[in-house]
Amino acid sequence: MSQVTSQHSSTYENRARMLISCPDRPGIVATVSQFLHDHGANIVQSDQYTMNPEGGMFFIRFEFDLNDLEKELPVLVEDFHRVADRFEMKWSTFRASRKKRLAIFVSKEDHCLNELLWQWKSGDLDADITMVISNHPDMKEQVESFGIPYYHVPVTADTKAEAERKHLELVSGKADLIVLARYMQIIPPKFIEEFPNRIINIHHSFLPAFIGGSPYAQAYKRGVKIIGATAHYVTEELDAGPIIEQDVQRVTHRDNIDNLKRIGRTIEKVVLARAVKWHLEDRILVHQNKTVVFN
Amino acid sequence: MSQVTSQHSSTYENRARMLISCPDRPGIVATVSQFLHDHGANIVQSDQYTMNPEGGMFFIRFEFDLNDLEKELPVLVEDFHRVADRFEMKWSTFRASRKKRLAIFVSKEDHCLNELLWQWKSGDLDADITMVISNHPDMKEQVESFGIPYYHVPVTADTKAEAERKHLELVSGKADLIVLARYMQIIPPKFIEEFPNRIINIHHSFLPAFIGGSPYAQAYKRGVKIIGATAHYVTEELDAGPIIEQDVQRVTHRDNIDNLKRIGRTIEKVVLARAVKWHLEDRILVHQNKTVVFN
Amino acid sequence: MSQVTSQHSSTYENRARMLISCPDRPGIVATVSQFLHDHGANIVQSDQYTMNPEGGMFFIRFEFDLNDLEKELPVLVEDFHRVADRFEMKWSTFRASRKKRLAIFVSKEDHCLNELLWQWKSGDLDADITMVISNHPDMKEQVESFGIPYYHVPVTADTKAEAERKHLELVSGKADLIVLARYMQIIPPKFIEEFPNRIINIHHSFLPAFIGGSPYAQAYKRGVKIIGATAHYVTEELDAGPIIEQDVQRVTHRDNIDNLKRIGRTIEKVVLARAVKWHLEDRILVHQNKTVVFN
Amino acid sequence: MSQVTSQHSSTYENRARMLISCPDRPGIVATVSQFLHDHGANIVQSDQYTMNPEGGMFFIRFEFDLNDLEKELPVLVEDFHRVADRFEMKWSTFRASRKKRLAIFVSKEDHCLNELLWQWKSGDLDADITMVISNHPDMKEQVESFGIPYYHVPVTADTKAEAERKHLELVSGKADLIVLARYMQIIPPKFIEEFPNRIINIHHSFLPAFIGGSPYAQAYKRGVKIIGATAHYVTEELDAGPIIEQDVQRVTHRDNIDNLKRIGRTIEKVVLARAVKWHLEDRILVHQNKTVVFN
């Protein structure tokens, strides 16, 4: 099977996105939309959120079309600095047609990886999957059949430091987003620093319940009636980064730990794929330890 | 118990909302937000939706604060006509502090009525409930204990025409929104014309499944595994008006028709209360037979 | 408004229920169902659950009709001791027509109380509500309008011991089940001992997330995308008793703490009412710190 | 990749299941459980449902362990005829370790097929997938990589009759269950007769809403706020067979038809996989046009 190209991107060749966070102040929307209009941009979607009209933070996302994007976007970006400085904005622009590069980390459970691969193959995830990295060799054949390179990097107490070097070397210049698709190793601070708010993990519980290991065993022991999964950006504190998406499913006393795991697999893969999709479409802003998701 | 005043409104005394629908065209957001800014309005929330960037419809909702709203809003409205004409807009403005007047119609089942009364008493529904009209006398005492007038207008084959006259007379000048809280009579076209997209009905099924009478009996017969309820604006075609909100709950083969009704009551009241709340907060635009809900 | 009698009970005048827990062993179902059959009982519902076929616990619930129940049930119960001893059973029988007496504790928030009262008035909760006890006087009129006694028992640092005595005195011989419908005081161990697995509390979070005070503020701070509520039996350890039921609803970054509270109120009242209903219908068995719910 | 064997079956080598439907009458449970006990069977799970205690139908499912099952089950079955005749039972027994043979039909959309294959490979679907039949050649390589035969049987107006013959020939003696995993052709009556209540279809709407073609386009046009999918047994009347499972997801005005399809794919595959799993575990009884699902 050869590498599959999503059909999405081409239809968006003149589409760009802009994400802005700044202290709220009168006139932001007017100024930015006038600015975009003056530069020939046609806003096709905008979403805005103010934490608190007086003195809070302001978040906005624009999706716009601009003729001759490749040439005109740099001009627009250059000119926008004046606006941004005036309002103390943190901001980014993205070209919708420029696919983000995705590196997926996985251990032995393949359901999240498979869902990402399948959605990507169907054109639902608008990305280039540049590699899959695993501490196990098991999924090599499966991944390579999609035309995607597979790197087996064993992680043991002895090889930990070397593995970390290897990881950084592999993704360097080849990944805009790291997805931990049930990768069961701790990510070292140095790696996290390289990808601030660009590493998405799926935790197999409804955080902040059941932080840490064996969440289904913890859930079974506590006798919860609903289980869940949480996709979040990875920060140094374990399972404590900004939550992007969560979902849940009802369980009963009949469900033993194996059942919880089985039911959980479906929740995990669906939640992770949604979070990745939103990141790829530049729908997520992070403020302090929370996310604003314009979906 | 005396009439309860919501604490919401006062905090919003300078808050206004604007709803706009128009054919999509470059520059709408820029123009309107610049216009609002020039008139001293501070946009605290905006939501926008384009059906299709090329040649589709465009919908936008602004929520903004304006100093000395009572005096300044009429000026702003007057000036906006030029903008509106230029873009062929259908538009409305609303003052958040001016409570909408609500008339509730009910028959014998009181769960939806009770939920509305309770949410209103808690300050969650920012409205003046000006009256409850029923074809039965049963809930008179209950409703009057909230300080709300209760009108018993019997509806029989003979008194139908008179009841319709009476209904119109009662609500005339006293209702901005009509809520059919399980009112089991057909609303005549003349009444509907008086309140276009301002009559909300709760249908006790997941529309368009089980249109018409006895939806729970229909659902039981069909053996569905999930039941639902639908809040929609009333149009002349039965149960076919624009859907505002729906919700569902899982059922099993063990649930007989009585159980479906019991489970359904909770769904109905929650769905209806959400739809009413959104209408009161000017979050709903209707286009053709569908709603855009900015919630 | 006079006290309302549910119409359920009368139709079940010959209906009894039996709950059994015991170590699993071959022949339990055969023995008990043969026993019931031999005593003239017609089983109309049975639910069974084995934690683990080899050496685990076994739980069964029978619902059966027995002619001349009042006279025959004591005979059946007397005879059952031999069966129970043989299988080391913990067991109870209940007459469906004998309504359980309910005492509701409430503080200032009335949504859970109202839901219980409304469901009881509609005949959905098959109980006698014998009293409402509150540390505030606010809901006296409201509760008494249902014909239910309301006891205002203030709880302060000084009056704590006295309040506890008063509570025990009030419910003594008048309550089979205690429902804490957003009662914001700690229940002392002595009271809990009097009602083992017969005090149901509603905690306004998806336990075990956000134990303790201000769960919505905690949820807001953590930035969760789903909030929930948990009904559980009260044990000495705060918010750690056996979970009976949980439910959740999706929220977004737009929802501030007030919104979370408002959305949560609907979840809380629905979850609590379900748990109470199941207890009243003898559908819940507790084993260690978990529940088996045959619903 | 070679064919994968589920690890489930071996642990169940002495496990059997019995499904019974009959008119309700006192003593059924007692008689059957005594019968099973007398034959050395240890009941590990039982579920029972009575439509109506007086004169309704009675449904029961037993799961039991029996030493030397291969030899003893035929004896038990032989002896059970007397019990069955006495109570006018429709009944079946199944050996848990004897995997059902599955034939999957698919057209061009592969999400449901992939989910089934993935769950099967993970050991979650305890079946032998004996073949995939498609009216398109597209998924041949994909399916064969799992070690499963793939038959491309084109269906055109001209070849219809021949295709039907071919289908029957292919599955004859090789399938206990047919799964239509988004197979977009009408199944002829003759084929349905061969597999009564043994053909599971996934319909991409929340039935009975949006029967027939293009349900997502219909849903978009109607402006529903929730979409769903329905797994049902196939009968001669289109989309009208007994419903096994349904699930739904919330959508908004922003979701165009493509989005509905994309969101729907996840619902479809999850719902279909659940229905297939329950059928494989003998958890479904059909009565008239409804299912009793003991899950």
Q: DSSP letters along A43-72, please?
A: EEEEEEEES-TTT-EEEEEEEEE-TTHHHH
Higher pLDDT, A159 or D291: D291
What is the structure's pLDDT at B190? 94
Which are the contacts of D234, defined by CB distance < 8 A and separation ≥ 6?
A: D180, D187, D192, D199, D200, D201, D241
In a domain, C2, yes or no: no
In a domain, A108, yes or no: yes
In terms of domains, do C105 and C84 share one? no
Rg of chain A taking only CA atoms, in angstroms: 21
Inter-chain residue contact C223 with A289, CB threshold 8 Å: yes
Nearest to C26 among D30, D42, D49 (CB): D42
**Which domain range does residue B145 map to?**
100-293
Tokens at residue C147, please? 């014909």
Cα(C100)–Cα(C6) distance, integer angstroms: 12
3-state SS assignment for residue A135: coil
In a domain, C1, yes or no: no
Is the pLDDT score of D80 beyond 70? yes
Q: Which helix (H) or strand (E) holds B266?
A: helix B257-280
Range with the lowest mean pLDDT among A152-156, B208-212, C52-56?
C52-56
Inter-chain residue contact A45 with B45, CB threshold 8 Å: no
In angstroms, the first-to-last Cα distance of chain B is 32
Q: Which of A74, A95, A116 is the last residue of a domain?
A: A95
Higher pLDDT, D46 or D78: D78
Report in angstroms the alpha-carbon separations of B86 from B80, B89, B90, B285: 10, 8, 11, 20
Residues 133-162 of chain A with CB under 8 A from chain D are 141-142, 145
What is the structure's pLDDT at C251? 96
In a domain, C162, yes or no: yes
Tokens at residue A42, please? 């046609």
Best of B50, B60, B206 to substitute, by most chain D Cβ atoms within 10 angstroms, is B206
In terms of domains, do D274 and D130 share one? yes
Q: Which of D33, D64, D95 is the last residue of a domain?
A: D95
3-state SS assignment for residue A73: helix
Residues 222-251 of chain C with CB under 8 A from chain D are 250
| Mean pLDDT, residues D49-77 taken together | 89
Best of B42, B65, B295 to substitute, by most chain A Cβ atoms within 10 angstroms, is B42
In terms of domains, do B182 and B133 share one? yes
- Asked whether the beta carbons of C239 and C232 are under 8 A apart, the reply is yes
| Residue D289: closest CA among C5, B218, B67, C283 | B218
- Asked whether the beta carbons of C144 and C150 are under 8 A apart, the reply is yes
**Tokens 């299988």 appear where?**
C87
Is the pLDDT score of D19 beyond 70? yes
Task: Name the burial class of residue B2, with classes exposed (0-12), middle (13-18) and buried (19+) by CB atoms within 10 angstroms of its CB.
Answer: exposed
In terms of domains, do D124 and D213 share one? yes
Q: How long a stretch of residues is chain D?
A: 295
Tokens at residue C138, please? 């606010």
**Tokens 């609590």 appear where?**
C272
In terms of domains, do D190 and D131 share one? yes
| Residue C196: closest CA among C177, C215, C168 | C177
For residue range D122-142, list pLDDT tens digits in order. Answer: 999 999 999 999 999 999 999
In a domain, D249, yes or no: yes
In terms of domains, do B136 and B242 share one? yes
Cα(D38)–Cα(D32) distance, integer angstroms: 10
Residues of C in Cβ contact (< 8 Å) with B124: 262
Cα(A34)–Cα(D240) distance, integer angstroms: 55
DSSP β-bridge partners for residue D287: D290
Cα(D179)–Cα(D199) distance, integer angstroms: 6
CA dihedral of residues D253, D256, D261, D262 (deg, nearest 10):
-90
In a domain, C226, yes or no: yes
Range with the lowest mean pLDDT among B225-229, C257-261, D8-12?
D8-12
pLDDT band at D27 (very low <50, low <70, confident <90, very high): confident
Cα(A132)–Cα(A151) distance, integer angstroms: 6
Residues of C in Cβ contact (< 8 Å) with B142: 1
Count of CB pairs separated by less than 8 Å, B with D = 74
- Asked whether the beta carbons of B153 and B196 are under 8 A apart, the reply is no
Give percent above pLDDT 70 in chain C: 95
| Mean pLDDT, residues D33-56 taken together | 85
DSSP β-bridge partners for residue C216: none
Catalytic option among D239, D255, D258, D282 = D239
3-state SS assignment for residue A229: strand
User: B285 to chain D: nearest residue by CA?
Assistant: D253
| Mean pLDDT, residues D190-194 taken together | 96
| Residue C242: closest CA among C230, C251, C253 | C230
In terms of domains, do A20 and A104 share one? no
Catalytic option among B239, B247, B258, B282 = B239
The values of phi and psi at residue A55, to 5°, are: 85, 10
| Mean pLDDT, residues D34-41 taken together | 94
What is the structure's pLDDT at B3? 32
User: How many folded domains does chain A comprise?
Assistant: 2
User: D294 to chain C: nearest residue by CA?
Assistant: C47
Cα(D37)–Cα(B105) distance, integer angstroms: 60
In terms of domains, do D133 and D232 share one? yes
Strand order in the sheet with C127-134: C150-152, C127-134, C100-106, C177-180, C199-203, C226-233, C243-250
pLDDT band at A8 (very low <50, low <70, confident <90, very high): very low
Neighbours of chain A (3+ CB pairs under 8 A): B, C, D
Residue type, B182: R
Is the pLDDT score of A113 beyond 80? yes
Cα(B170)–Cα(B149) distance, integer angstroms: 11
pLDDT band at A25 (very low <50, low <70, confident <90, very high): confident
3-state SS assignment for residue D132: strand
In terms of domains, do C60 and C133 share one? no
In a domain, D2, yes or no: no
- Asked whether the beta carbons of B182 and B107 are under 8 A apart, the reply is yes
Inter-chain residue contact B111 with C124, CB threshold 8 Å: no
Is the pLDDT score of C259 beyond 70? yes
Residues of B in Cβ contact (< 8 Å) with C275: none
For residue range A204-257, list pLDDT tens digits in order. Answer: 999 999 998 899 999 999 999 999 999 999 999 989 999 999 999 999 999 999
Cα(B105)–Cα(B164) distance, integer angstroms: 13
Q: Strand ranges (DSSP E) for B107-181?
A: 127-134, 150-152, 177-180
What is the structure's pLDDT at A11? 64
In terms of domains, do C149 and C171 share one? yes
- Asked whether the beta carbons of D251 and D260 are under 8 A apart, the reply is yes
What is the structure's pLDDT at B202? 98
State the CB neighbour count (10 A cutoff) for residue A2: 7
For residue range C162-206, list pLDDT tens digits in order. Answer: 999 999 999 999 999 999 999 999 999 999 999 999 999 999 999
Nearest to D37 among C27, C38, C44 (CB): C27
Residue type, A200: I
State the CB neighbour count (10 A cutoff) for residue B263: 17
Instruction: Identify the CATH number of the domain in which residue B74 sits.
Output: 3.30.70.260
Element counts in chain A: helices (H) and strands (E) = 9, 13
Q: Which helix (H) or strand (E) holds C30?
A: helix C28-38
The segments of chain B whose pLDDT lies below 70 read 1-11, 53-55
Cα(A283)–Cα(A291) distance, integer angstroms: 10
In terms of domains, do D179 and D71 share one? no
Strand order in the sheet with A100-106: A150-152, A127-134, A100-106, A177-180, A199-203, A226-233, A243-250
Kindly report the nearest CA distance between residue D38 and chain B, in angstroms: 30
In terms of domains, do D144 and D79 share one? no
Which are the contacts of B17, defined by CB distance < 8 A and separation ≥ 6?
A: B61, B62, B63, B64, B93, B94, B96, B281, B282
Tokens at residue A281, please? 């479409």
What is the structure's pLDDT at D55? 67
Q: Give the relative orientation of helices D69-87 and D28-38 as an angle to the nearest 10 degrees.
A: 150
B11 touches chain C (CB under 8 A): no
In a domain, D210, yes or no: yes
What is the structure's pLDDT at D25? 86
Catalytic option among A239, A247, A255, A282 = A239
DSSP A254: T
What is the structure's pLDDT at B5? 32
Give the DSSP letter string of A151-220.
Answer: EE----TTTHHHHHHHHHHHHTTT-SEEEESS--SPPPHHHHHHSTT-EEEEESSSTTTT-SS-HHHHHH
pLDDT band at C53 (very low <50, low <70, confident <90, very high): low
**Tokens 């309107």 appear where?**
B32
Inter-chain residue contact D50 with C44, CB threshold 8 Å: yes
Q: Burial letters for A15-35: b for 16+ Cβ neighbours within 10 Å, e otherwise?
A: bbbbbbbbebebbbbbbbbbb
Inter-chain residue contact A208 with C209, CB threshold 8 Å: yes
A43 touches chain B (CB under 8 A): yes
| Mean pLDDT, residues C126-132 taken together | 97
Is the pLDDT score of A54 beyond 90? no
Residues of B in Cβ contact (< 8 Å) with A250: 250
Chain-wide mean pLDDT for chain D?
A: 92
Inter-chain residue contact A289 with C49, CB threshold 8 Å: no
Instruction: Identify the CATH number of the domain in which residue D251 sits.
Output: 3.40.50.170
For residue range D203-247, list pLDDT tens digits in order. Answer: 999 999 999 889 999 999 999 999 999 999 999 998 999 999 999
